[in-house]
Amino acid sequence: MSAELDQRAREILRTNDKGGYTVPTDGLYPYQWNWDSVFVALGFATFDESRACREIETLFEVQWDSGFVPHIVFRQDDPGYFPGPSTWNAGGQVPTSGITQPPIAASVIYEMWCRTKTDSIRERLATLFPKVLAWHRWFHRCRISEDTGAVIITHPWESGRDNSPEWTRPTSRVDPTGVGPYQRRDLQHADASMRPLKRDYDRYIALLEYGRDTGWDHSKLATEGPFRMADVGMTMILLRATRDLIRLSKELGRVDIIAELDGYVRSLEQGADYLWDSKAQTYCSRDVISGEASGYVTNASFLYGYAGVGDHGQQAHMARHWDRIGARVQYMLPSQDPDDAGFDHMRYWCGPVWIMMNYILARGFLEIGQQAWAERLRADSHRLIADFGFHEAFSPQTGDGTGGRDFSWTAAMWLAWCGRNTAAPGT
């Protein structure tokens, strides 16, 4: 059974491989997506390390001079996707989107570095190092406010958690009346009950047009844009990635930049602290414009272990949320607390379980001594894939697949993590 699923996972990666980059799934997402590709590299690394490196190299080939790395790379035109390259109007020779996505790259590169025994692979990973460093510097220059230390997103899609209920109140202020008629393509590939609502989609396009009209001025978007959220997912992921970049710097003998990176860690730790909501007793995102915390417990709230933050009291509160949510669902960890407003077990980031989130969460839980939680995430992820298939995401209540099928990062996570019979990711 496991061997068959291993084979199926490899087939999915090969089919979605368009030559140096992998699409998340045919139809719904026909281009290269930033954090998808980086997770996918971990899957390739289990059977073809060179191809794994290539996945990350092609992503960084389109890095802008500022260090910014876009969330979509449009290498060929595909009329089946909206908003495509002409709507974004961004990038250089290869068109791209104008927003970014969670910076998971440093952590994955460091993981690949630790796993490989091959000098030529290590050389290629070392070549990526300055590029990743430039991306982290871009975050600190353009997206981290000195007073809070948290990462500001300027479009819900930057978070990767596109339609999380965390964005509902802040996007309600965005005026979509200037948006002309457009045709959604995602609904041709997936059922409307699994995708963002029209109300939200109109605002995604309004924000895209606002960014495009600034000429993708990233600093301006973060200081004047109509949607500015201090995102708990981005902040935790960048913090972890910076710790991994420090580990990598030491491996590469780049001690000259450790003080700079230590400064980034301190600032992001302060950012994580700012995102603790003492009313809801959870980590969550905060609206920079209104100052209001979402108050929601999401799967990103639990990234505190992965990021290495949280005092004893904060961890105890999160443990209570874990126990409460664990008793409410069949499969952990839902992207939205079933007891919070906006929960919808099949709708994209309003409730479904995401396997690559489970993977990074499990890594963090092992590091903070929550072995049982890590093992539950691995076992639940294993069951979801074995019983329902390689879907984009899954209902935490029924296990049914939601979104796209034959999904690259789900296949990659099977190969790199939950298809194995060990609680320890990366061993």
Of 297, 233, 284, 269, which is closest to residue 35 (Cα–Cα)?
Answer: 233
- Residue ranges in 329-424 assigned as alpha helix (H): 355-367, 371-388, 408-413
Across the strands, what pairs with 353?
A: 394
Binding track, positions 271-310, relative to ligand DGY; x by CB under 6 A? ----------------------------------------
Smallest distance, ligand DGY to C-beta of residue 162, A: 5
CB-based contacts of 67, cutoff 8 Å, min separation 6: 134, 135, 136, 137, 138, 141
Given the residues 162, 244, 287, 344, select the one marked as catalytic.
162
Closest CB to ligand DGY among residues 24, 43: 24
Given the residues 36, 244, 392, 406, select the one marked as catalytic.
392
Smallest distance, ligand DGY to C-beta of residue 368, A: 30
Closest CB to ligand DGY among residues 27, 326: 27
Closest CB to ligand DGY among residues 55, 186: 186
Binding track, positions 128-157, relative to ligand DGY; x by CB under 6 A? -----------------------------x
367 is catalytic: no
Q: What is the DSSP letter of 226?
A: S
Residue 22 in 3-state DSSP? strand
Write the CA distances from 426 to 45, 104, 111, 152, 363, integer angstroms. 11, 15, 7, 30, 8
State how far the Cα of 134 lies from the Cα of 244, in Å rounded to an integer.
Answer: 15
- Per CB under 6 A, contacts with ligand DGY among 365-394 are none
Which residue number is nearest to ligand DGY in terms of Cβ? Answer: 157
167 binds ligand DGY (CB under 6 A): no
Of 176, 196, 42, 175, which is closest to residue 105 (Cα–Cα)?
Answer: 42
How many Å is the Cα radius of gyration of the chain? 20
162 binds ligand DGY (CB under 6 A): yes
Closest CB to ligand DGY among residues 96, 282: 96
For ligand DGY (CB under 6 A), the number of binding residues is 4
Closest CB to ligand DGY among residues 55, 277: 55
Smallest distance, ligand DGY to C-beta of residue 394, A: 17
186 binds ligand DGY (CB under 6 A): yes
162 is catalytic: yes
Write the CA distances from 394 to 189, 335, 348, integer angstroms. 17, 10, 9
Of 374, 353, 386, which is closest to residue 426 (Cα–Cα)?
Answer: 374
Catalytic residue positions, numbered:
162, 392
> Where along the sequence are the contacts to ligand DGY (CB under 6 A)?
71, 157, 162, 186
